[in-house]
Chain A
Amino acid sequence: MGRKTKITIDYLKCGDGVGLDPRECSKCLRICEPAIFLLHETLGVEEKNPYDPQIWRVTPLYPSLCTRCLKCVEVCPVEAINVTW
């Protein structure tokens, strides 16, 4: 099995209403074959309209399924993704 894959996303560059909006970009989500990323509303933020949340981020949800192809790192326009093992 070897070592665990660790995927980190820099939330200053992507998501949380600060950096790039992941809903517009979503390149990492689309390129990942096993679809390990999750697009979701950031936890614990006050939304102006809770029925239509605007602050989103991407979380690497299932790193165990990662094939270490590093396509997400290549495709990210703001270089926010880092994969190590």
Chain B
Amino acid sequence: MCDHCLKHGTAGKWYFNARNYSNEIAEEYNLREFLMEQYLNFEQIPVRTINGFNAVGLGYKMQMPIIGRVVKYFAEKMVLSTKPPTNPFKAEGHFGQVVPLDDAIAILEHCAAEPIIQKYCMCRYMSRGDKDACCINFGVMSEIIEKLPRFIPVDEKFQLTREEAIERFKEHNKKGYIGTIWYGPYPYINNLCSCKNPECAGIRPRLDFGITSIFKAEYVVDVERDLCTGCQKCISKCQFNALKFDPALRRVVVNQENCYGCGVCLHECKFDALRIHPRNEYPTLAGKY
């Protein structure tokens, strides 16, 4: 997201710009009413028909010769839109990026606007009927979730301090959930999710249908050759098919084209053989998000 960070990142990454989290941005774009309307009917968004199109049977629509390309073009135009949002029933400007643990901690420590809450992940609820409090929300979004009982955790704390939020995020990350930070909608950042493929409604369009709804992290994972013992424990943690055991070398190799840089495999390695490096240090990967 190079150009994007130049524009929105005050000499750094876009998600480290505290202005993007501020309530002023939410007021400027009138997001209070917009988000309320959107989250009242959140689970319905994929089945609602807008401009003659809905996401039911998306895979078959994308396989059609010309129509498939038109669908992809309009879906990406909508998701990556940077215009002020108009229709709360569309996922306009709702794109995000994978963040590894350290960046997520920095976000929670310095950038996230109060109040910070945790809520039941709606993606898991709509795809699995499962209630798992693994989403962390900030600012205006927290006030909206407060009014919607189905998202409020029952046996766990709802409002979190910064330290508690960091602890929760660490727990999820160790479990193997990928950390993602989301505009919702652009340019207001209010969501730090920990999720998994195929439940995550944000990762799924990219992995299953090739619609760029999420960007790879600013990092990639690399193996320290001499430290890897070939125990293969990390392989099961990777949800992007980036880790593979090479029987000839008797160690794990990383397919960096596939690596999203989420860093959840790092928790699994007892030998400190997996390391996370900035994507731009690799000439073949620089700028490929």
Contact = CB atoms under 8 A, between A and B. Distances in A.
Decide whether A and B are members of one complex: yes
Task: State the main secondary structure of chain B at its contact with A.
Answer: helix
B41 A35 contact: no
Contacts of B62: 64
A40 B201 CA distance: 13
Contacts of A25: 129
A38 B46 contact: yes
B227 interface: no
Interface in B44-67: 44, 46-48, 55-60, 62-63
B149 A59 contact: no
Nearest to A52: B149
Interface stretch (B25-33, B120-128, B163-171): B120-128
Interface residues of A, number: 27
A38 B128 contact: no
A39 B127 contact: yes
Interface string B144-172: 00011110000000000000000000000
A69 interface: no
B148 A29 contact: no
Contact of A26 (B48, B55, B129, B208): B129
A26 B127 CA distance: 9
B60 A4 contact: yes
B60 A64 contact: yes
B201 to A, nearest CB: 9
B130 interface: yes
A61 to B, nearest CB: 6
A38 B47 contact: yes
A85 B144 CA distance: 43
Interface string A45-85: 00000111100000111111100000000000000000000
B40 interface: yes
Contacts of A65: 59, 208
B43 interface: yes
B199 interface: yes
Nearest to B40: A50
A62 B126 contact: no
Given A63-B60, A64-B59, A65-B59, A43 B125 contact: no
18 contacts: A23-B129, A29-B129, A34-B198, A35-B128, A38-B126, A39-B127, A40-B47, A41-B44, A52-B150, A59-B47, A61-B55, A61-B58, A62-B57, A62-B58, A63-B57, A64-B57, A64-B58, A65-B208
Interface of A: 1, 4, 22-23, 25-26, 29-30, 34-35, 37-41, 43, 50-53, 59-65
Given A35-B198, A61-B46, A64-B60, 9 more contacts: A23-B129, A26-B129, A29-B127, A38-B127, A39-B43, A40-B46, A53-B150, A62-B57, A62-B208
